[in-house]
């Protein structure tokens, strides 16, 4: 599900160019991200791993426009996120990005169903009468149809997280961004939530960027990017597709990059030779 531009090259859905992020601390400044460049293509499932406090959430905040880089460019779904106004960002996010947090962040006074309807109302997406039906469909998909009228506090953590996933999908955004979405779940529930993510990527062609501390889950994600001290310390698929000549994309080539992880390109789709890269 990788889209191409007119040159036959692959189009990145997330393009980070030389991102630097510093925060003021007292009269000083500390730099958290030191020039990160990263391209993610449509249909990719990418894990962001690395030690605590090394800049993973800060990086995701650059992609979603929740925060701005001190330097560098953030192009997501073709929009210059680093340069957009708050209003433009809110509109864009509502249409293009589904965000899933570790602590669910459901609105406590609204039912689960209302929580899922809300993003569609904000984005004015789908007809009024359709929104409820669509929300019910999504809740059904995450196994929560029978809990739809409960308040978030009346269901378990795993159920709240599944509701948060339904909410993130409400406007049918192409890009999903998740910051430790399984961090508060037991292993079994985490596995279920993860299977759901896999399904969304494989069956609906979503693109997903997920920060996780769960090594086992990260190992199941096709591409792994490790952030250490605000730099990319490792990327299991470092070569951006834009640098792969179109001839080899169509040719069905197996490549073995310098990191030793081989991958194949068949019918214009990049496939790692195993899902446990
Ligand atoms: N608004 C801010 N002002 C000052 N420092 C900040 C701010 N936001 C983040 N930081 C600092 O940036 C560093 C990276 O934080 P970040 O939340 O990105 O880490 P992380 O890799 O997501 O860690 P974790 O795995 O624990 O969630 C931390 O040292 C943090 O204190
Ligand atoms: Mg974090």
- In terms of DSSP H, where are the helices of 205-240? 215-220
Domain with CATH 3.40.50.300 in the chain: 12-238
Specify the pLDDT at position 247.
37
- Cα–Cα nearest to 57, from 31, 24, 32: 32
pTM of the model: 0.83
Element (H, E) at 41: strand 28-41
User: Taking CA 224 as the corner, what is the angle to CA 223 and CA 225, rounded to the nearest 5 degrees?
Assistant: 125
Q: What is the pLDDT of residues 14-40, one digit of tens each?
A: 999 999 999 999 999 999 999 999 999
Contact 2, 223 (CB under 8 A): no
Top-tier CATH class for 12-238: alpha beta
User: Which ligand 1 atom lies nearest to the CA of residue 50?
Assistant: 21
What's the mean pLDDT when you consider all of the chain? 85
Distance 40 CA to ligand 1 centre (A): 23
Strand order in the sheet with 175-179: 97-100, 175-179, 207-211, 45-49, 223-228, 231-235
pLDDT band at 10 (very low <50, low <70, confident <90, very high): low
pLDDT value for 239: 54
Ligand 1 pocket residue status of 55, Cβ below 6 Å: yes
Nearest residue (by CA) to ligand 1, atom 1, is 23
DSSP assignment of 107-133 equals -TTS-HHHHHHHHHHHTT-S-HHHHHH
Spatial distance between the Cα atoms of 180 and 247, rounded to a whole number of angstroms: 38
pLDDT digits (tens, 9 = 90+) for 219-232: 999 999 999 999 99
């Amino acid at each position: 599900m990788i889209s191409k531009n007119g040159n036959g090259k692959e189009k990145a859905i997330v393009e980070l160019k030389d991102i630097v992020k510093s925060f003021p601390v007292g009269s000083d400044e500390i730099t958290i991200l030191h020039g990160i460049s990263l391209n993610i293509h449509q249909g990719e499932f990418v894990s962001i791993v690395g030690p605590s406090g090394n800049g993973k959430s800060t990086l995701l905040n650059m992609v979603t426009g929740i925060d701005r880089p001190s330097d560098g460019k953030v192009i997501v779904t073709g929009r210059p996120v680093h340069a957009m106004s708050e209003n433009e960002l809110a509109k864009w996010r509502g249409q293009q990005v589904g965000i899933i947090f570790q602590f669910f962040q459901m609105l406590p006074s609204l039912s689960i169903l209302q929580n899922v309807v809300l993003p569609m109302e904000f984005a004015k997406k789908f007809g009024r009468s359709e929104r409820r039906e669509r929300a019910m469909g999504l809740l059904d998909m995450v196994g929560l149809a029978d809990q739809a009228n409960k308040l978030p506090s009346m269901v378990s953590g795993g159920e709240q997280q599944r509701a948060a996933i339904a909410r993130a999908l409400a406007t049918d955004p192409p890009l999903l961004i998740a910051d430790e979405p399984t961090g508060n779940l037991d292993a079994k529930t985490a596995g279920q939530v993860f299977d759901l993510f896999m399904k969304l990527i494989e069956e609906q062609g979503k693109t997903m960027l997920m920060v996780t501390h769960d090594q086992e889950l990260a190992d199941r994600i096709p591409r792994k990017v490790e952030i250490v001290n605000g730099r990319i310390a490792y990327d299991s698929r470092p070569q951006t597709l834009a640098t792969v000549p179109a001839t080899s994309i169509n040719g069905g080539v197996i490549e073995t990059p310098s990191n030793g992880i081989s991958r194949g390109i068949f019918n214009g789709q990049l496939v790692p030779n195993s899902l446990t890269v």
